[in-house]
Structure 1
Amino acid sequence: MLRSHIFHVTTNTDQQRHPMATSDNYSDPQTLAQLRQQILADATLPEARRKAMASALNTVERALGQPLESLPADPTQLRPMLERVTPAMVRLSTGSWKNVRSLLGAVLRHANRNMLPQRFDIAPSPAWGELLGLVRGTRHLFHLGRFARYATQADIEPDEVNDAVLARYTQLLVTQSLGSAPLRCGRDTILSWNAARERFPQWPQQTLTVPDNRIRRSLDWGKYPATLQAEVEGWIAWLGGDLFLDRDFRPLKPLSLQSRKRYLSLYLGELVADGVNPATMTELAPLVAPAMAKRALSRVHRRQGDRTSLHLSAMAGVVLMIARHWAKLPADEIEKLRRLSKTLRPETQGLTPRNERRLALLMDPRQQELLINLPARLAERVRKGGRPTQHLARIMQTAVAVDVLLSAALRISNLAGLSIGKTLLVHHDGRMSIAIPADQVKNSVPLTADLPPTATALVREYIRLYRPLLGDASGPWLFPGAKPGTQKTTGALRDQISGAIAREYGLEMHPHLFRHFLAAMVLAANPGNDGLVTRALGHKRQDTTRSHYVGFQTQHALKHYDALIERRRTQSIISAGGR
């Protein structure tokens, strides 16, 4: 039986089966705790079903780390919380966690009959059944199968399907289901419909409009007047020009230039979102005035929950840079922008609280052992999988990426950009090393590292057997992209690595945390060895290392101090006993 999310039409039979669903007892519950009480008190449900639902809610409470009293009985709010949870995090099998989510959906639907059920038992109408027979055995059956059952419940026949029907279906997925990635699910249904239309003459011939679900914080540069585009390019050229240009700072590196232009694009996009007509944006000076800066930056501040961040601070810094060095605004306006930039700078020292919590879990020797052995674990699974396939190749690619991160603690952009023969060097004696020039590193400090023998052997095996299945084998990229001649995007590689660690061990770990992991491991062994961490991570200054890892240095220094105190106490007891 297919699984799906479908629109449920309330009938008299439903009300007879679940009389409490429309009674005062089920009037708009606000939290999962209230729903749990209602489920346990509902005599219309068998006792075993009530206990299973209540147990599932208890598991959700444990998985999300919040009491049921604080968890909303609203799928749109619960979905993003649940998407961060993997079965390993709850120490359940994949099937058990799916069952918990299914029971949670049943709990929500028991109180709200408009909730889309996790499972459905309705057969498609004859017209829909005939169409589904055409796509049986194709990848389109999954999405079209559940949409057909939704349409059958809603009395919609195939020739009545149009953009409005799919918009309604997608809206229900978003607001009335716990299904992950509902917008993508709706879009994939439309893509499957259009593909079936092109392939099968019997398929209804209406073409559906494919929505663009990307969240854009900026416009394409072509949407702005030519004068602004030219000025922006002039500004970028001036930032990175020769040493003899008239400015108060050294020319910026290519990566820094890309960053400045990206932040400017995001800033201008916020102004457009706030109602400024892009056609009126003809030059930079009026756009970076204090009043305009407050409009754009306040939008980002609100979206972040009224919190400052490095992202917001960087955007404010770009505005100040343009106003001061390029547009040369009056001194009083520069001072206002300077104060605004200072206000938006987060007053933090060391790691963010979230990264501190994640890293603290990795201080458990057992977790360290699991993480360090993950590449070997994944690689062994691939080898036992038999003949190389694209699926197995992607697992091996993840193993290689994790092994390189453990060996060299690269930033994700440098990891994704590893180029065989250019930044990933293969030596005649069998060694492999990484050599990334300064202009490709965030802080302009060149990076060199020899891969250990185990990582070298894994990379060689991956290149020889598995990399050709994932992209252009003739290209230079260690992690090739889907299009010939391209590298895998940093976002895709980041998700691939984080997803594997979450599935295997239930840890929330992004690739940049490997750099913090290196620092924590070194400092745990020697709290005063921040100089080694500085060199390993490529920091320009040692105080950068100290500011980032001051908490771990203090923690491990106190452990050494406590051990010293205990030794002195033991010596005192021995000495006293000998008198």
Structure 2
Amino acid sequence: MTTLNGKPNTLADVLAIVAEAGLTASRKRDLISAINRLCEMAGRTPSDMPAEASALRAELRKILPARFGVSAKTFSNQRSLLAAALRQAGALDDMGRGFARRHPSWGPLMQAVGADTQLDDGLAAFANWCARSGISPDEVTDESMKLFAIWLETRTHCLKPRDVVRRTPLLWNRAGATIDGWPKTRLSPVSFRGPRRRLAWDDLSESFRRDAEAYLGKRAAPDIFHEEAAAPRRPLAPNTLRQQREHLRLAASVLVEVGMAVADVASLADLVERERFKTILRHYHGQQNGKPNAFAVALAKTLVQVAKHHVGASAEQVADLKALAAKLPPVPFDLTPKNKALLRQLESDGPRAGLLFLPETLLAKVASEMEAPRLPFVEGQVAIAIDIQLACPLRPQNLSNLHWRRHFLEPDGPKGRLLLHIPAEETKTKRQDLTVEIPEDVARRLRWYRRHMLPRVGGDPNGFLFVTKNGDPKSQETLTQQIIETIARHVGVHMTPHQFRHFVATIYLDANPEDHQTAQAILHHASAKTTLIYAGSASRRASRAYGKILFEQREQLELARRGKKAGPRRAIN
């Protein structure tokens, strides 16, 4: 058995300890089975699965139990059995649940917060640890929080230890302000963010920021009557402007990192000076070890545009910068490996069916719990979002901003056709309106959601489709995360709202390999070339088509041969 400081090093060591422990046969069987099953789902063997808490937590976090047909409850039970095995092997400590309530100093305080569920649940782990560590309430300090954080991370099976640690000082301070007898010591907020690697916008020189704002303002609203030939003519989209602002900040940060004083990076012209331009690109090229880097290519394009449209560089200077940027390895005109992996997973009937029927499944559950005190509203919202993405895959910003009065039309009345209309100014290309007829079953679920669910949280049935529990519009980031988590939990794949565009294009082109024009219209692409990226490689479809022809050729030749030579065709057993 391999151990580290007297403790098990891998789950194989834990299995050996459990096998020799004085437990009942059924208990040993359950613990061993849980360890083996979790290792199997992680794609690891017990001998190379770490027993150390933080490393093991990271490995288990990668597992999507739905991918293996395992329910959330079963997965939770397996994790609990694993934790029990680790405690048996001495790799974990017991959480000491309820210990603080029985402690003479902590007991009265925990009883005092018992009526406040948030305080009671949120402070329990810290209070239990303090009580077992011999730390009285009046002795709690920021140092106590640091030691608690280390213990929670390295000696417990807590799923999200950093969330617990971040929340504890806030709840402690709130208890001190509202609970009689609670210690008045205030704890400092805890952050796990590492030191900033790049300068913040406000850390850059004032003259640089002023020049950058002038450039970005020019790109946001260009003067079409400007007489300079190099003046920009087309406004950039808000997302592009945010991206370019970030490019400018990071480019300036790189120059400061290699030795320039902040004050010496005084304007955008300092970024596009030839040698400095090379320094910036060399930095990001090196970060990817010389591999294709989409970020470096995009940053180079931004700096070339700065040179062309803002700093007054000559045509020769701009051409020189473009030539330098062209030395970067080109980014493959294809889907990323991550997107290809997702599409391969969704080729299987199980995951594909799980995704296609997920809106119906989720809404059926929500409908059955409409009278419950806590309506599963998030699942209902996610069901509608997925329903829409499957019917007409929108870009995430358009999805999160959907507004009934602004974006939906009922030309035949409230029981007839439902049209989704995105005005041109809200699309990425800004060139053409997007109008889609919503499938009948999706329209029915969407109308039910508006009528029965939105009013439950104070949402306006004629307003925003996706709202918070207070009825306010939900942010794109929040809706995106909720969609990702719900799909992972129920289908067992990691899928973002944007990846529905890849999925839908692939489904359509699999059934209609030659009809790229319709796929382009479904995705609302300005260029047919872009659609080829979203549709992915055609090699699989080509091989499928050839396989069909090959089969037909063999069948035809076999029939001809059997016509000349009697006798049944021999089957392969």
TM-score bracket, shorter-length normalisation: 0.7 to 0.9
Choose the corresponding residue for 1:238, options 211, 218, 237.
218
Choose the corresponding residue for 2:175, options 188, 196, 211.
196
Q: CA-to-partner distance for each residue in 1:77-136, whole Å, 9 max, x for gaps?
A: 3333322334323322333312332344455556665x4546657454222111111222
Gaps of 5+ in 1: 1-19
Taking the aligned partners of 1:225 and 1:197, their CA distance within structure 2 comes to: 42
CA contact (8 A) 1:79 1:178 kept: yes
- Name which one, 1 or 2, has greater alpha-carbon Rg: 2
- 5 Å-filtered alignment, 1:119-268, equals 120=97, 122-124=99-101, 125-137=103-115, 138-212=117-191, 221-240=201-220, 241-245=222-226, 246=228, 247=230, 250-255=233-238, 256-268=240-252
- Please state whether the residue corresponding to 2:405 is helix, strand or coil: coil
Amino acid at match of 2:463: P
Identity of aligned residues (%): 27
Quote the offset at 1:209 in angstroms. Answer: 2.3
Residue 527 of structure 2 is aligned to residue 541 of structure 1: yes
Quote the offset at 1:324 in angstroms. Answer: 5.0
Segment of structure 1 superposing worse, 399-408 or 254-263: 254-263
Sort the Cα spacing of 1:303 and 1:474 in 2 relative to 1 into closer, same or farther, 3 A.
farther
CA contact (8 A) 2:284 2:296 kept: yes
Taking the aligned partners of 1:449 and 1:441, their CA distance within structure 2 comes to: 14
- 5 Å-filtered alignment, 1:87-98, equals 87-98=65-76
Choose the corresponding residue for 1:356, options 310, 327, 340.
340
Residue 439 of structure 2 is aligned to residue 458 of structure 1: no
CA contact (8 A) 2:451 2:461 kept: no
Quote the offset at 1:321 in angstroms. Answer: 3.2
Residue 453 of structure 2 is aligned to residue 473 of structure 1: no
Q: Identify the residue that residue 556 of structure 1 maps to in structure 2.
A: 541
Taking the aligned partners of 2:308 and 2:57, their CA distance within structure 1 comes to: 44
Q: CA RMSD, aligned part only?
A: 3.6
Choose the corresponding residue for 2:377, options 375, 389, 393.
393
- 5 Å-filtered alignment, 1:398-477, equals 398-427=382-411, 429-430=413-414, 431-446=417-432, 447-470=434-457, 473=460, 476-477=463-464
TM-score (norm 2): 0.84
Quote the offset at 1:56 in angstroms. Answer: 2.8
Taking the aligned partners of 1:428 and 1:258, their CA distance within structure 2 comes to: 41
- Please state whether the residue corresponding to 2:404 is helix, strand or coil: coil
Taking the aligned partners of 1:275 and 1:47, their CA distance within structure 2 comes to: 66
Quote the offset at 1:69 in angstroms. Answer: 4.7
Sort the Cα spacing of 1:365 and 1:60 in 2 relative to 1 into closer, same or farther, 3 A.
closer
Segment of structure 1 superposing worse, 311-320 or 146-155: 311-320
Sort the Cα spacing of 1:296 and 1:82 in 2 relative to 1 into closer, same or farther, 3 A.
farther
Sort the Cα spacing of 1:157 and 1:90 in 2 relative to 1 into closer, same or farther, 3 A.
farther
Q: Identify the residue that residue 380 of structure 1 maps to in structure 2.
A: 364
Quote the offset at 1:233 in angstroms. Answer: 1.6
TM-score (norm 1): 0.83
- Please state whether the residue corresponding to 1:422 is helix, strand or coil: helix
- Please state whether the residue corresponding to 1:421 is helix, strand or coil: helix
Taking the aligned partners of 1:38 and 1:296, their CA distance within structure 2 comes to: 54
Amino acid at match of 2:441: T
Amino acid at match of 1:412: P
Gaps of 5+ in 2: 565-573
Quote the offset at 1:292 in angstroms. Answer: 5.8
Q: Identify the residue that residue 66 of structure 1 maps to in structure 2.
A: 44
Amino acid at match of 1:541: S
Quote the offset at 1:462 in angstroms. Answer: 1.8
Sort the Cα spacing of 1:317 and 1:463 in 2 relative to 1 into closer, same or farther, 3 A.
same
- Please state whether the residue corresponding to 1:318 is helix, strand or coil: helix
Quote the offset at 1:181 in angstroms. Answer: 3.0
Q: CA-to-partner distance for each residue in 1:368-404, whole Å, 9 max, x for gaps?
A: 3332221111111111103276642222111111111
Amino acid at match of 1:227: S
Sort the Cα spacing of 1:425 and 1:270 in 2 relative to 1 into closer, same or farther, 3 A.
farther
Amino acid at match of 1:386: M
Amino acid at match of 2:554: R
Sort the Cα spacing of 1:263 and 1:79 in 2 relative to 1 into closer, same or farther, 3 A.
farther
CA contact (8 A) 1:62 1:90 kept: no
CA contact (8 A) 1:323 1:334 kept: no
Quote the offset at 1:179 in angstroms. Answer: 2.7
- Please state whether the residue corresponding to 1:492 is helix, strand or coil: helix
CA contact (8 A) 2:3 2:9 kept: no
Quote the offset at 1:63 in angstroms. Answer: 1.9
